[in-house]
Amino acid sequence: MRAVIQRVSAASVSVDGSVIGQIEAGLLILVCAMKGDDDTAPARLAAKISRLRVFRDDAGKMNLSLADTGGAALIVSQFTLAANTAKGNRPGFSDAAPPERGNALYESFVTACRALQIPCATGQFGADMQVSLTNDGPVTFWVEV
């Protein structure tokens, strides 16, 4: 699995003009299931992200994790993270997991985050979503397991 995480002071996701998920301070997690991801990938990715020290401590250094701060996660599926742009001008998505498998892994990732006591809001798998965020920093990372 792969993810792009952004430290945010606020984020929300809407479908058809209605907000379906929103958080205050925490992480926006854009996540993609890849072909070949096994059933352990979601829990491994959730554990890694929950422990990444990307939040400021009292000295202003990035020494605190999401688990340390009690922040929330807005988790949005984004198959375009599987894009291959090596050739031509049109990205290829053949490295993404098929939709049914991708949805199962996405749901498993959300469950794994919640099991780590992370308050979570979500997008809607496969929907045309509008994501709004205030990136804090800006701080953005690419994470793979």
Residues 60-114 have pLDDT tens digits of 999 999 999 999 999 999 999 999 999 999 999 999 999 999 999 999 999 999 9
**Domains along the sequence of the chain with CATH:** 2-144 (3.50.80.10)
pTM for the predicted model, two decimal places: 0.96
Residues β-bridged to residue 16: none
Total Cβ atoms within 10 A of residue 103: 15
Query: Catalytic pick from 40, 55, 69, 79?
Result: 79
Instruction: Tell me whether residue 55 is one of the annotated catalytic residues.
Output: no
DSSP E strand boundaries for the chain: 2-15, 18-23, 26-32, 55-56, 62-64, 72-77, 120-122, 129-144
* N-terminal to C-terminal alpha carbon distance within the chain: 6
In the residue annotation, 69 being an active-site residue is answered as: no
pLDDT one-digit tens code per residue, 39-60: 999 999 999 999 999 999 999 9
Instruction: Pick the catalytic residue from 6, 55, 69, 78.
Output: 78
Active site residue 80: yes
CA–CA separation, 23 vs 133, rounded Å? 9
